[in-house]
Amino acid sequence: MLTDWGLEDSTPATPETEVIFPSNLTNMQIDLKLMGVLKPKTPQDGRLELPDSATIKDALLALEIPLDSVQVFTVNGKLVRDKNHTLNDGDDLTILPPVGGG
């Protein structure tokens, strides 16, 4: 399997292939707030390290959250629905799971 950067990885592909970030890229940190049933996936310090120019999709994959399970996010308090939205160092990312009720 090839990673997003064309590097060889011997890990078998899964339906939602894990993104493998090369260690030579510059990293950034974002602050996370995971709501509802996703809250247990929050890193202990509430921060996630990703390579520069990572997207919401990259964050979801790093957190092992299925891509089709969430559709609504906020970045720095602004509503975002595009999983390809590029994140920046220090961004606040909130991930909102679907809410049901009755």
- Residue 75 has a CB neighbour count (10 Å cut-off) of 18
Contact assessment for residue 75 and residue 85, using Cβ atoms and an 8 Å cutoff: yes
Split at pLDDT 50, 70, 90, the class of 14 is very low
What pTM value is reported for the model? 0.74
43 vs 100, higher pLDDT? 43
- Which class in CATH covers the domain with range 1-102? alpha beta
The mean per-residue pLDDT over the stretch 6-35 comes to 64
Query: Which of the pair, 90 or 5, is modelled with greater confidence?
Result: 90
Residue 37: φ, ψ to 5°: -65, -15
The C-alpha atoms of residue 1 and residue 28 are separated, in whole angstroms, by: 26
Across the chain, what does the average pLDDT equal?
82
- The residue with greater pLDDT, 3 or 92, is 92
